[in-house]
Amino acid sequence: MLRSGALACAALLVAGSARGQEVRRVEAKAFPAAVAASFGLGFGGQRAEASIGQGACTGGGACRFKLGSGPMLALDLQLPLTATLGFGVSGAGGRAPRVVCGGECTSTDKATVIHGSVLLLWRFKARAPIYFGVGPTLSWIDPGPVLLWDTTSVKEPGGVLVIGYDFGITPTVGGRIAWWNYLTKPSDKSLPTILTPTGLAWDKIFSFGVRFALHK
């Protein structure tokens, strides 16, 4: 009788342990609900080009119009979809100089730059530190990025690709390093015929942030 009872207790313990392991496996998500606040440096891409400087450039050759580099702040939200997939919403903004380059580059003012994105996030494994994200983005620039001609705000639709690295600090707080790439179509609504818009503008942000879990 005692032996049968011991065996029954052992069976219950094994079954309970197996159920616990199963629950832990189910709860392991690559992107648990969390928000992340980041600070980084943005690098603007070229928006237009002219073969003649028209007084805006010094030296010979083409005259290129682009956004320069500047500090950026970002706020991200992530939610789980499957064990290795997640959904993300991101907003990043800052101030960047409007630059014109010929023989040398000059800038006389700055523009407000805001990127808004929706992303599909994934990791190769649920607990892998490296993650990827891709999705549509919309950039708002005020005034537009082309110095001398853009006097009002412009919107640039496109896509975003992010590669990031997450690491733990506490059970509910973690760090995040990310490299954001925004590929957008420059607006030509204010450009004269002497300027040729760039096919795609490539803006980048390299950021460091802190991630806060929304659930324990």
44 secondary structure, DSSP code: P
Q: What is the pLDDT of residue 197?
A: 86
- Residues 206, 177: one domain? yes
Cis peptide before 129 (omega within 30 of 0): no
- Residues 19, 94: one domain? no
- Residues 15, 40: one domain? no
- Residues 9, 91: one domain? no
Q: What is the pLDDT of residue 164?
A: 98
- Residues 4, 62: one domain? no
Average pLDDT of the residues of the chain: 86
**Total domains, the chain:** 2
More confident residue, 56 or 88: 88
- Residues 114, 209: one domain? yes
Residue 184 belongs to domain spanning: 31-213
Q: What is the pTM of this model?
A: 0.82
Interval 185-215: pLDDT, tens? 998 877 777 788 888 999 999 999 999 999 8
Q: Is 126 helix (H, G, I), strand (E, B) or coil?
A: coil
Interval 76-106: pLDDT, tens? 999 999 999 999 999 999 999 999 887 788 8
